[in-house]
Amino acid sequence: MESCGTPVGLADRGRSVPATDLLIAAAAIGAGCELWHRDAHFEAIAKVAPLDQRGF
């Protein structure tokens, strides 16, 4: 998987995201899947990476 600069982009915005959420997001991006979640971290990741996500 390619790096999309997510940790740096989030750090620039003052956000901290668990490594497990970054791995899940990277897997969803790499697979081209929409990620359904109940976790605000994925909304933050989607602001700095091409993560197709939907909260429920």
Question: Per-residue pLDDT tens for 9-54?
Answer: 777 777 789 999 999 999 999 999 999 999 999 999 999 999 999 9
* CA pair distance 21, 12, nearest whole angstrom: 18
pTM score, whole prediction: 0.79
* Separation CA 54–CA 36 (nearest Å): 5
The tokens of 15 are what?
Answer: 């956000």
Per DSSP, helices labelled H in the chain are 6-12, 19-31, 40-46
Distance, in Å, from the CA atom of 10 to the CA atom of 48, rounded to the nearest integer, reads 7
Domain ranges of the chain: 6-55
pLDDT for the residue numbered 35: 98
